[in-house]
Amino acid sequence: MPKLRLVTIGPSHYCEKARWALDRAGIGYVEEAHVPMVHWLFTLPRTRTRTVPLLLTPHGALTDSTDILRFVDRGLAEPARLYPGDDALASEVAALEDELDELVGTTARRLVYCHLVHEPALFVEVMSQGLGRAERALLRGAHPIMRRALARAFNVSPRAAARMRGRLDELLAKQAARLADGRQYLFGERFTAADLTLVSLLQPVMLYGRELEGLPASIAELVSHFRATEVGAWARRVRDEQRTRRAG
C-alpha cells in the first residue's frame, strides 16, 4: 500500500508536474483528485494552504510542486536527477523552473480559463479527470456556478484572452531562442526539472494526445496555434519520449 497521497485538481498543470516526477521515479502514491474550490476542503484543514499539488508523506506535507520535485530527486542517483549534481547548473535549472512556474504556468492557466468557462461540456469533461463519484455528480449539477466563480477569479474576458495569448507567445519565443542551436533540452543534452516543468505547464494549451476534432472551435484554434509553435512541437516530442520513461 503506497504511503504517499497526492491531492490534486485532475487537469491542473502544476499537478501534472508533480505526478510526472513521481511516476518517472517509480514512486507509488494514491491520487485524490478534486474539483477546483472543493479541493480547499482537503487542503486547508490539513496544511492551511489552498493550492494543489499537495503531497502528504509520512514525514510531513509538501505544498508546492517544486518541493515535490526536490523530494523525488533526493531518491534518485545521477544522472537521473532532475537537478544536476553540478551546483551552478542546478541553480540555473531551479531559477528557470521558478520563472516558468510564475510566468508560463499562470499565463497558460488564465488563457485557458478565458475559453473553458464558456464551454460547459468540455469544462465538465476536463474537470472530471480522476474524480470520485460524489464530486463527479456535484460537478454535473454545479458547473454553472463553478464556471461563474472561476470566470470571476481569473477575470476572464476576450481582452484578457488576447493579452494572455500574446504574453504566452512571447514567453515561448524566449525558450525557442534557447533551443535554437538544436539542443535536445533546455539545458543541452540532459533532461532536467526545467524541461519537465515547461512541458507540464503547457498542458492546458497543448492538450497532449487529444484529437482536435470535436473540440469547441475557439479551443481547437488555440491548441493548434500553440502546437504549431517551435516550443509546442518540442514539448510534444519531449513528452512522447519522456513521460512514460522511468528515471535511472
Ligand X SMILES: N[C@@H](CCC(=O)N[C@@H](CS)C(=O)NCC(=O)O)C(=O)O
> Which residue lies nearer to ligand X by CB, 47 or 184?
47
DSSP string computed for 104-148 = IIHHHHHHHHHHHTT-HHHHHHHHTTT--HHHHHHHHHHHHHHHH
Task: Kindly tell me the number of DSSP H helices and DSSP E strands found in the chain.
Answer: 12, 4
Cβ(83)–Cβ(190) below 8 Å: no
C-alpha cell at 142: 454545479
Here's the x/- map for ligand X, 184-223, by CB under 6 A: it reads as: ----------------------------------------
> Which residue lies nearer to ligand X by CB, 81 or 109?
109
> Which residue lies nearer to ligand X by CB, 66 or 192?
66
The nearest distance, CB 109 to ligand X, in angstroms, is: 6
Q: Considering only CA atoms, which of 158, 79, 60 is closest in space to residue 118?
A: 158
Pairwise CA distance, residues 69 & 21, whole Å:
6
The nearest distance, CB 1 to ligand X, in angstroms, is: 26
- Pick the stretch among 60-68, 127-135, 187-195, 231-239 that binds ligand X (CB under 6 A): 60-68
Candidate residues 10, 42, 93, 101; the one interacting with ligand X per rule CB under 6 A: 101
- State CA 155 to chain mean position distance: 20
Candidate residues 52, 93, 193, 202; the one interacting with ligand X per rule CB under 6 A: 52
- Pick the stretch among 50-58, 163-171, 212-220, 236-244 that binds ligand X (CB under 6 A): 50-58
> Listing from the earlier edge strand, what are the strands of the sheet with 30-34?
30-34, 5-9, 54-57, 60-62
Is 51 among the residues that bind ligand X (CB under 6 A)?
Answer: yes
Pairwise CA distance, residues 148 & 245, whole Å:
39
Cβ(72)–Cβ(170) below 8 Å: no
The nearest distance, CB 241 to ligand X, in angstroms, is: 24
The nearest distance, CB 108 to ligand X, in angstroms, is: 10
Q: Which residues pair with 8 in a beta bridge?
A: 33
> Which residue lies nearer to ligand X by CB, 23 or 64?
64
Candidate residues 6, 7, 9, 238; the one interacting with ligand X per rule CB under 6 A: 9
Is 12 among the residues that bind ligand X (CB under 6 A)?
Answer: yes
DSSP three-state, residue 2: coil
Enumerate binding residues for ligand X (CB under 6 A): 9, 12, 14, 50-53, 64-66, 101, 109
